[in-house]
Amino acid sequence: MSKSLRLPEKWFRRGLWLVAVVFASFLIGLGGLVVGNLPQAERVQEVEDFIPAADAQRVRAALRQAQTVERQADKARDTARLKYEAEKARYQSARESFDNWVATRRATERPEQDSELIARTQALDKIKQTENQARQLLEQVEQTSLAASQNVSAAESEWRDLHDAAYPAWQARQREVELRVFLYRLAITLPLLVAAGWLFAKQRKSTWWPFVWGFIFFALFAFFVELVPYLPDYGGYVRYIVGIVVTVLLGRYAILALNRYLEKQKLQEALPEVQRRVELGYDVALGRLAKSVCPGCERPVDLKNTEIDFCPHCGIGLFDHCGHCNTRKSAFSRYCHACGTPAKEAPAALGVPPGVAEPGRSAPPSSP
C-alpha cells in the first residue's frame, strides 16, 4: 500500500502513527496514575492479625520476659567466665611460683623454710578455693542461661504454633483481597476494552484514526499490564481456564472472519469486471499490485511476466494497451505512463459514470 501513496502522504501517515503512539503513551501515564492513586479500600493484614488476641498477648509477654532473662543471664555468664578465667590464670601463676620455690627448697634442704612452705601452701590453697568458687558461680550462671534459652525456645515454638494455626485464615483472606483488587481493576479496564473494540470495528479507518489507534494501544496496555498480572491464580486453574476461553473466543472470531472474507470474495468474483473495478478503488488496487497479488481475488500473480494480462484465478484484467500509443500498461492506471493519454476504463475504475470527463480532461470520443 505504501508504494501507491504520494510521498507527502507517506510522511504524513508516518507522522500520524507517531501521534497515535504519543497519544497512547500519555493515556498510559494517566491510567497508571489513576490506578496507583485508587483508594486503598483493602487494609493490608498480617498473619498475626488472625491469632486470638488473648493468646497473642500472653505468648508475646512470655517471649519478651524470657528474652529479657536470657539477655541478663548471658551478661552474667560472660562476667562469671571472665572472673573464672582470671582466677584460673592467677592460680596457674601461683602454682608455677610455688613449684619453683619447692624445687629450690629441695636443693638447699634448709629446715628453717618449713614454716614458709606451710604458708605458701595455705596461700595456694586459698587461690585454688577462689578459683573453685568462680567455677561454681560460672556453672550456676550457665545453668540459668540455659534455662532462659529453653524458655525462649518454648515461647517461640508456641508462637510458631499459633502462627501456623492462623495461616489458613490469613491465606483465605488474602485470596478474597486479591479477588476484590482484580474486580476493581476489571471495572476500570473492561469499559476500556469494550470501547477499544468498538473503535477498532467502526472507527479505525475514520478521519481521526490516530487517536483511535492510540486509545486501542492504551486499552491493550491496560489489559496486559494493569489487569492480567492481578488475575487470581487459585493454583493455576483460573489462568489456564481464562487462557482457554480467550483463545476459543479469538479463534472463533478469526474463523468466522475468514469465512466471511472467503464468502465475500466469492461474491465479488461472480460480479461483472466493471463493477468489481468500481468497488475496488484506485488506491486499494495499486496497494495490492505493489504486493504482487491480484487486486480482485488477492491471490499471488507473477506481474513481471509480460505474457500475463489477466488474472488466472478470477479473470480480472491486469494489463491492457493504450489506445493512443499501444503501450502495455496496468489496467488500473488512470493514464498511460508512456503518452499520458487517459485510460479507456478510467471513468468506470474511478466510479465515474461513462461519458463524464474528469476535471481538466476532455471526454474521450465515443466509439461508433
Angle of the 53-108 helix axis to the 114-202 helix axis, nearest 10? 150
The CA-CA-CA angle for residues 309, 281, 254, to 5°, reads: 95
* pLDDT of 248: 92
pLDDT at 355 over 70: no
pLDDT of residue 368: 33
What DSSP element (H or E) covers 320?
Answer: strand 319-321
Q: Does the pLDDT of residue 57 top 60, yes or no?
A: yes
**β-sheet bridge partners, residue 330:** 319
Looking at residue 223, what is its pLDDT? 83
Look up cell 488473648; give the residue: 54
Reported as a single tens digit per residue, the pLDDT across 309-334 is: 898 888 888 898 888 888 888 888 88
Span 232-286, pLDDT tens digits: 766 667 777 877 888 898 889 889 988 888 888 888 888 887 888 877 878 888 8
Domain ranges across the chain: 17-232, 273-349
Q: Which residue has the higher pLDDT, 90 or 212?
A: 212
Query: pLDDT > 70: what percent of the chain?
Result: 84
The DSSP-derived string for 344-359 is: TTHHHHTTPPTTPPPT
Q: What is the mean pLDDT of the chain?
A: 79
Question: pLDDT per residue over 27-52, tens digit each?
Answer: 888 887 777 666 555 666 788 888 88
DSSP string, 74-132: HHHHHHHHHHHHHHHHHHHHHHHHHHHHHHHHHHH--GGGHHHHHHHHHHHHHHHHHHH
Region of residue 162 (phi > 0: left; psi between -120 and 50: alpha; otherwise: beta): alpha
Check whether 366 has a pLDDT greater than 50.
no
**CA distance linking residue 292 with residue 298, whole number of Å:** 9
Distance between CA atoms of residues 104 and 99, nearest Å = 9
Region of residue 131 (phi > 0: left; psi between -120 and 50: alpha; otherwise: beta): alpha
Q: 166-209: per-residue pLDDT in tens?
A: 888 888 888 787 777 778 888 888 888 889 888 988 888 888 88
CB 277, CB 332: distance < 8 Å: yes
The answer to whether residues 324 and 41 touch, using CB atoms and an 8 Å cutoff, is no
CA 35, CA 296: separation in Å to the nearest integer?
48
